[in-house]
Structure 1
Amino acid sequence: MSNDNEIVLDKEKEKHPKIKVERKEGEPTSAFKGAAWAALFVGVVAYLIGLYNAAMQLNEKGYYFAVLIFGLYSAVSLQKAVRDKDEGIPVTGIYYGISWFALIVSILLMAIGLYNAGSIVLSEKGFYGMAFVLSIFAAITVQKNIRDTNRARERD
């Protein structure tokens, strides 16, 4: 009787196969990758929508846009330099130092710009600051996920 039950259960499994994607060792989960991309998208789009709707002069909007792009690039560059150094991949001291310097400068430019922006109310300043930080963190995470995924797939 128990043999008949096993056959019935096996037939049920065949009717409803679960699609399971094999994840390589060291590869981030799809959920984590999706969350990182979603955070990057939400942070950048919210920041840009805020800039578009802001009652600022075009040169001010350009400043905040440039700071965002500079911050994203410097964060990814620093993440790569730190990771390379940790993995024993040669990184020149000047590149490593410039990467740190660029990220710090981008954060300072954002902070100084928001502190001195008289035309922006405090709640908007907080919005821009949080969207900026979210975008930078998400860019670092997306870069890490891409690198981890590529490395995991290269092992096979």
Structure 2
Amino acid sequence: MSTDASSAFSSIDPTAAGAAPAAAQRPLAAEPLPQRPTPAFVGASWAALLLGVAAYLIGLFNSSMELNEKGYYFAVLMFGLFAAVSLQKTVRDRAEGIPASSLYTGLAWFSLATALALLGIGLWNAGSLLLSEKGFYGMAFAMSLFASVAVQKNVRDLARFPRPERAEGDAGAARDDRR
């Protein structure tokens, strides 16, 4: 009976029949297989980026600020977008084992903190803006930074996968054959 019981349970518990434990059969830190971002996530990321940047820029265009103030807020937006994407790339490079210097990583963190501080200080001292306008700029800025990181992640993830081949009868495929 014990032989039958051990053979019956060996299909449930691999260690019951003397098999090596599952942890010994595969490495402990197995890398998950990269997955292609879904078209919905890619589209939502781009939509959020375009909406955030457009809202911020439309707000600047419609504001009664002096041109030099508008230029300041535009430069802060561009600096913040670059800093957020740069920091995301650096952090991801390190997570994937791609060398990134500590100096550049520190500069990326400093740049993002500086962009946030410049926006915060600028809005705090903007006496001509209503509190609701200040909140609007802050939220549009935050949305744009977050979305830029998501778009950069998608671009990098999609670069790992080959582009789908075109169908035989596709007009684009015929155009490529004539070159």
Question: Shorter-normalised TM-score: what interval?
Answer: 0.7 to 0.9
Give the secondary structure class of the aligned counterpart of 1:90. coil
Match of 1:3 in 2: none
More helix by share: 1
Match of 1:19 in 2: none
Match of 2:126 in 1: 117
Q: Is the CA contact (8 Å cut-off) linking 1:25 and 1:152 kept in structure 2?
A: no
Partner of residue 59 from structure 1, selected from 53, 62, 68: 68
User: Is 2:170 aligned against 1:147?
Assistant: no
Q: Is the CA contact (8 Å cut-off) linking 1:40 and 1:134 kept in structure 2?
A: yes
Distance 1:74 1:25 in 2: 25
Partner of residue 43 from structure 2, selected from 19, 26, 34: 34
User: Is 2:111 aligned against 1:102?
Assistant: yes
- Structure 2: give runs of 5+ residues left out of the alignment: 1-32, 164-179
Q: AA paired with 1:73?
A: F
Distance 2:120 2:146 in 1: 16
Match of 1:87 in 2: 96
Distance 2:105 2:35 in 1: 25
- Per-residue CA deviations over 1:23-68 (Å, capped at 9, x if unaligned) read x951110000000000000000010000000000000000000000
Match of 1:137 in 2: 146
Please report the RMSD computed on the Cα atoms of aligned residues, expressed in angstroms. 1.4
Larger RCO of the pair (alpha carbons < 8 Å, separation 6+)? 1
State the shift of 1:151 in Å.
1.6
Give the secondary structure class of the aligned counterpart of 1:153. coil
Q: AA paired with 1:49?
A: I
Distance 2:37 2:112 in 1: 25
- Per-residue CA deviations over 1:53-91 (Å, capped at 9, x if unaligned) read 000000000000000000000000000000000000010
User: Is 2:86 aligned against 1:77?
Assistant: yes
State the shift of 1:152 in Å.
3.2
Q: Which runs of 4+ in 1 moved over 6 A?
A: none
Give the secondary structure class of the aligned counterpart of 2:110. helix
Give the secondary structure class of the aligned counterpart of 1:120. coil
Q: AA paired with 2:72?
A: Y
Larger Rg, first or second structure (1 or 2): 2
Distance 1:153 1:93 in 2: 32
